Structure 1
């Protein structure tokens, strides 16, 4: 058996502490050798908990010969910068989504990883849950006939105003934080080199917010396949997608963030009859760690979805902003044109 991949964690975000650091500790495929934070006390605290070194500078682990790879749970606006720095330092990279906030940055990262023979992996956990493979098997077996449309949504309740999701300088906003999930699920339907086209997008930015808090996008997946995506930061919780076919539809609830003990149930509806298809629980975080270690050992090339996703997120952002800026005021039916004229 190969020795574990020695990984440095750059950043101490809540998601890293809650999901990824425990998954690293539970895995035989990786070992955490350094935790870096610009808050020395927090780095020291986590280093004690995980029996590793602490660093108070993100650059320090990049110069460490004992580090094979880095995990980047930094704010979205910092992903491309530090992923690029790690690749140039000869380290494999596991980066939170989105890996980049522009198509140009994503293309540069992918080219850099390919040229140096390093793994660049975007940490999209839900891709590693077995329920999605089961869905695709049912679709391939004709359970819903010809696939006609895909509808996905990921929304969460509002968080405190101090949360980084509401800070535009850190890459906040509903699209970058949540829109990536339904978009990546849509790309997964389209084969190994997906090339959907953006048809249109909307965004909502309430007056008190500095970022978008909700949005939708419509993509053309080719051959008439419609892909509709919804996301939001000020909603009741929803994490689902539905595949609509010519003879039925298949729905996945808890699609993006199921806990490891969750036993999924797919809903297959045909001819007015709904069948509930039970599946075993699966640990998508643990599976993702295993997959990353395999990518490091095989020096896997970056997935094309990294670039396609970045290009589409950028296009959706621009389209949604344009619609938001040019939308006419909502006219109350009780208001006369003279009232609007001021």
Structure 2
């Protein structure tokens, strides 16, 4: 485990008892030697108390009560996207560092306000893209010159089978939809390899008329060099979590790009002329790494999570995709009818 410059623990609270919080994040926070998991909040107090008891912390029956506690340094927010802005803003204004489950918010303007507030108050604001903290991506970047050469095309896909009908992902008022839930992953991955601000050359979102949310989509991006990115995502597919880099020397594909289990040794496929090789990379725990990066940023003010420019680039790109998208389905949900101007 990495050592931090400060020895005191980061006192953390969690707003919401979402599945990702209980299954993946809270176990790591409870076990981290530089975290004191103090409290978890749910609007159902009995549920909060049950979850709190399971992780050795207080259960609080009101989000506002947790935000206002004076025994917290930082708050993790795994609520539906449309609720991120309100509670992240309240947490920042109460003097807490904030880790928000992706996406940072459901609109570009709300994300800008959060970034501005965090900057003014000198607090850490981070967006929880855990896949960025897996060592396989560093290994792939090291292969680029030898295995890919000059990059011509990035392709990425993240899709899952249909979800439970009651999920917030099918509720427009809660920020549901495939773009904000799974589409943001290949969009963020493309920015690891393409240069500068990306142009949206085309996009399509398929809207489910029964729910009013987008359930599938495709996006075509281009950077200033003419390198393109072809991205696909959705809620109505067989599972796929991959990206590939194709250049003048070869093609490298990452098979479990976004949600690899910690016990998995990821396999990267390299295709060059008549030679195909596969490399098995070391297993890694991206959940622990992501939490550790946030803890380091909050305790020491150092590390990659202190750079908020990546949050801005992501929010702007998602907004541009929404504005450019052709919607197939219910025309009443077309974002471009409401959002008239590119904010750049």
| Residue number in structure 1 paired with 2:207 | 205
Once residues 292 and 56 of structure 2 are traced to their aligned partners in structure 1, the CA distance between those partners, rounded to angstroms, is 21
- For residue 175 of structure 1, give the secondary structure of its aligned residue in structure 2: helix
| Residue number in structure 2 paired with 1:232 | 234
- For residue 207 of structure 1, give the secondary structure of its aligned residue in structure 2: coil
Once residues 302 and 8 of structure 1 are traced to their aligned partners in structure 2, the CA distance between those partners, rounded to angstroms, is 23
Once residues 207 and 65 of structure 1 are traced to their aligned partners in structure 2, the CA distance between those partners, rounded to angstroms, is 46
| Residue number in structure 1 paired with 2:142 | 137
- Please say which structure displays the higher CA radius of gyration: 1
Which of 171, 181, 189 is the aligned partner of 2:185? 181
- For residue 14 of structure 2, give the secondary structure of its aligned residue in structure 1: strand
Once residues 302 and 145 of structure 1 are traced to their aligned partners in structure 2, the CA distance between those partners, rounded to angstroms, is 29
Which of 156, 160, 167 is the aligned partner of 1:163? 167
Contact kept in structure 2, 1:101 and 1:313, CA below 8 Å: no
RMSD over equivalenced CA pairs, Å: 1.5
Contact kept in structure 2, 1:150 and 1:243, CA below 8 Å: yes
| Residue number in structure 1 paired with 2:197 | 195
Once residues 171 and 11 of structure 2 are traced to their aligned partners in structure 1, the CA distance between those partners, rounded to angstroms, is 32
| Residue number in structure 2 paired with 1:294 | 296
Deviation of 1:207 (Å): 3.1
Once residues 330 and 57 of structure 2 are traced to their aligned partners in structure 1, the CA distance between those partners, rounded to angstroms, is 49
Q: TM-score, normalised by structure 2?
A: 0.90
1:37-88, Cα deviation, whole Å (9 max, x unpaired): 1011110001111111111111112221210000000001011111111111
1:114-169, Cα deviation, whole Å (9 max, x unpaired): 11111001110000000000011111x33211011100000000012111111111
Gaps of 5+ in 2: 1-5, 332-344
Deviation of 1:209 (Å): 3.3
Once residues 223 and 177 of structure 1 are traced to their aligned partners in structure 2, the CA distance between those partners, rounded to angstroms, is 29
Q: TM-score, normalised by structure 1?
A: 0.91
- For residue 195 of structure 1, give the secondary structure of its aligned residue in structure 2: coil
* Count of residues in Structure 1 that have an aligned counterpart in Structure 2: 323
1:203-252, Cα deviation, whole Å (9 max, x unpaired): 11233332111001111122011011110001000000000111100000
Gaps of 5+ in 1: 327-342
| Residue number in structure 1 paired with 2:3 | none
- For residue 59 of structure 1, give the secondary structure of its aligned residue in structure 2: helix
